[in-house]
Amino acid sequence: MTDRPAPRRVVVAGGGTAGWVTATALARQLGSLVEITLVESEEIGTIGVGESTIPTARAFHEFLKIDQQAFMRASRATFKLAISFENWARDGDRYLHSFGTMPMRTWMADFQHFWLEARARGEAGEIGQYYLEHEAARLHRMDLKGDPKLNYAYHLDASLYAKFLRRIAENDGVTRIEGKIANVERDGESGDIAALVLEDGTRLTGDLFIDCTGFRSLLLGQTLGTPFEDWGKWLPTNSAWATQSEGVGDAYPYTRAIAHGGGWQWRIPLQHRMGAGFVYASDHMEAQPALDQFLATLEGRPLRDPFPIRFRTGRHRQAWVGNCVGIGLAGGFVEPLESTTIHLIMIGITRLLQLFPFSPDCAAQRERFNELSQNEIERVRDFIILHYHLTERDDTSFWQYMRNLDVPDTLRERMEAFAQGAQAWQSTNEIFRVDSWIQVLLGQRMTPQGWNRVGALMKDGRLKQTMEDASRMVANRVATMQSHQQFIDSYCAPKEG
């Protein structure tokens, strides 16, 4: 019988969403195989803009056996079915990027080809009416029952979420230490991290160190000097003002992304407040005018003074160096337009669990982790660039710059394939589905020149009937749902007392 190995000592540097997601996942999945210590300081604030998720968060919670109602009550969460993009292709435009998938497809052609054929014949409506999540979001509806089921994500209070995860993690054996990191010691021979030294002199040794220190990237960036690949030429937005405000009216089941002259604003409806932010490019807009415009357009009374955030879009060349893994903002960041920040935290820790270094020699695991991390964050980058670049706006220097951008070849290939033949695809290790690419490309006013004509083979009104049946099914299903606010009130409002 093989003896159980000594637990691997894991030190998590930093709390917040990244730190506590990491600690909870490691404790829940590896149990006694690891000994986890998390160090954080109450004096160091967290960014707190990651209040919106994508549907992969649900699968991650199921993976960790987290009760959905308990989580939503604790973090004052609401449901999210889509993102509402406003003023992007043109000032005054609006479209929804919903989380649905359209089952009408064959091995030859995805749904957009049939829709484009029917549209050319005058036998189809707007593409959104065929997606259940699109119509439920548009009409502010929600439920968890019925068939087909809605594909949804969450809006959440990031601070309350971290506290919720902390309770789970500590109950599962994670040790939390309060304190600031004053020094990081490295091994003289290997160059690996040997210990974190806190301001009070406490020395934390470990086998694996996980950097969750946010944009500071204290371990991966500052200590190990891992090169940073800056994507500012493609995504020049590098600043934001953020606050929380009183909610106005019922909570709606989508995030609002509202473009303005120098960037965009977010609105994230929670049960108890609204999350709000104003993203801008400092080369095209100064801080004070940005703040003035933010406050002038804010819905509801601010609950705190707006605070500034500075960031760089890009990634460290390796997310795992030696015995240090960067998770979340410490490893890389793509601005929050499509709500991918929390996803990248969760997929990062999922990969680490799959490739966990139980032996000293883990070069192959490191290489694989870094390859997968690079591929995914670069695909996210391309999808975000698409929203800015595929625009007809030229009313400010910012939008003129974005229109004339020399985009990455990987994105140019996708745009040309859709423009010429309505082709879209989901690459390996990419989070955005074909349906996401379709909704955004069409929403940004790209009209394909052609498409797969397989739908033309459908005779005797069959294509028209199929489209009508699909639209009717969606409308009938949505009609059975409660309003989103009613459902939130009955399902996950905090219990009194």
The secondary structure of 25-73 as a DSSP string is HHHHHHGGGEEEEEEE-TTS-------B--THHHHHHHHTT--HHHHHH
328, HSE (Cβ side, Cα atoms, 13 Å): 29
User: By CB neighbour count within 10 A (0-12 exposed, 13-18 middle, 19+ buried), where does 57 fall?
Assistant: buried
Catalytic residue among 65, 80, 149, 495: 80
Please give the Cα distance from 196 to 39 (Å, whole number): 9
Distances (CA, A) of 130 to 134, 148, 252, 418, 454: 8, 13, 20, 20, 19
Name the residue type at position 234. Answer: W
Find, among 266, 245, 247, 263, the residue nearest to 255 by Cα: 266
Our answer to whether residue 80 is catalytic in this structure is yes
| Residue 371 Cα to chain centre, angstroms | 20
Residue 338 carries which DSSP code? G
Using DSSP's 3-state secondary structure scheme, residue 464 falls into: helix
Long-range contact pairs involving 165-172 (C-beta distance under 8 Å, separation at least 24): 165/17, 165/20, 165/21, 165/23, 165/24, 166/15, 166/20, 166/23, 168/24, 168/28, 168/64, 168/66, 169/20, 169/23, 169/24, 169/27, 169/36, 169/38, 172/24, 172/27, 172/28
Residue 30 has φ and ψ, to the nearest 5°, of -110, -15
Active site residues: 80
